[in-house]
Amino acid sequence: MPQYWLMKSEPYVYSIDDLEEDGQTHWDGVRNYQARNFMRDDMEVGDQVLYYHSNASPPGVVGVAEVVREGYPDHTARDPDSDYYDEKATEEDPRWYMVDIEFVRKLPRMVPLQEIKDEEALEDMVLVNRSRLSVQPVEEAEFERIVAMAEEEAPE
């Protein structure tokens, strides 16, 4: 049984189209402990990911990806030239981790954050209640509901 997640990316930095073009990518640059722990400890190959565009207008879920490599050290933390460099990261204690994800598909339409907020079945989503977390768990029913919403017409 796969688990379900939501991962945020700013489309100007790395969009679903970029992921489609690349096929797969390292999810580097996460510098939040809670998000790191999910990647390091909980994500498994085959898990399904809702791909979310943050800082977009409107923000929302745009596609699906899949975990293809489980947590391993984020090498950008030890690269002084990287924007994500962290002097406290060492080989023995890498401090930051990433996973690899693969493009699965774009949804037929974006499901905007506002629609997610308006949907009663989604009121417990982490996205709605703790908006800052960039890697977060999603219930299977929530995942399926959002995918179903993308198959439907946008509400008036």
Partner DNA sequence: GCCAACGTTGGC
Site residues for DNA per CB under 7 A: 8, 31-34, 54-59, 113-114, 117, 130-134
Nearer to DNA, 54 or 82 (CB): 54
For the CB of residue 3, give the shortest distance to DNA in the complex, in Å.
20
Cross-strand bridge partners of residue 16: none
For the CB of residue 113, give the shortest distance to DNA in the complex, in Å.
5
Concatenating the DSSP letter of every residue in 12-79 gives TTS-HHHHHHHSEEE------HHHHHIIIII--TT-EEEEEE-SSSS-EEEEEEEEEEEEEE-GGGG-
Nearer to DNA, 113 or 122 (CB): 113
Nearer to DNA, 33 or 108 (CB): 33
For the CB of residue 127, give the shortest distance to DNA in the complex, in Å.
7
Q: Is 70 helix (H, G, I), strand (E, B) or coil?
A: strand
Token pair of 141 as six digits: 């029913």
For the CB of residue 1, give the shortest distance to DNA in the complex, in Å.
27
Nearer to DNA, 57 or 92 (CB): 57
Please tell me whether the peptide bond between 94 and the residue prior to it is cis, using omega within 30 degrees of 0.
no
